[in-house]
Amino acid sequence: MYLDLLDALDRSILTLLVENARYSYSEIGEKVGISRVAVKARIDALEKKGIIEEYTTVINPQRISGAVSCYFEIEAAPARLQEVIGRLNANETITQIYRMTGEGSLHVHAVASSQDELESLLREIDALPGVQRVSSRVILERIKDVKGLRL
């Protein structure tokens, strides 16, 4: 299993952080039976190893008036793929970029402030040198959205 390299204590700490990343070291220590100093040392080690990448606040764009969330499937010429990725990465409306199987295949998520901004983004993507095909899907409702690995 993917957690085999972690001991039971680290797995317990990670499970608690996934449940609520705002738990204090003291709260975690009480739940797993070690001191807050030991919890901090273990969390620091997990961060240093890259197991814990970040702590963040997730904002639901559908709860913000006018926000439009959309997924794009983009086919780019292999010779221009890195250029396309760079241009997409620089756009603040785009929140996620994944390289998928298949030559030049990208899966991209964007959250636009309005339908007009989304249309402008689509025109911008269509015009990127090397983009061969774009398909888009607007999200109507977020039903389940798991972030990262669930333990």
Each residue of 115-140: pLDDT tens digit? 999 999 999 999 999 999 999 999 88
Domains of the chain: 8-48 (1.10.10.10), 61-138 (3.30.70.920)
Residue pLDDT, tens place only, 13-42: 999 998 899 999 999 999 999 999 999 999
Contact 73, 37 (CB under 8 A): no
Where does 33-74 have alpha helices with state H? Answer: 36-48
> Does the pLDDT at position 1 exceed 70?
no
Give 76-100 pLDDT, tens digit per residue: 999 999 999 999 999 999 999 999 9
What is the Cα 24 distance to its own chain's centre? Answer: 24
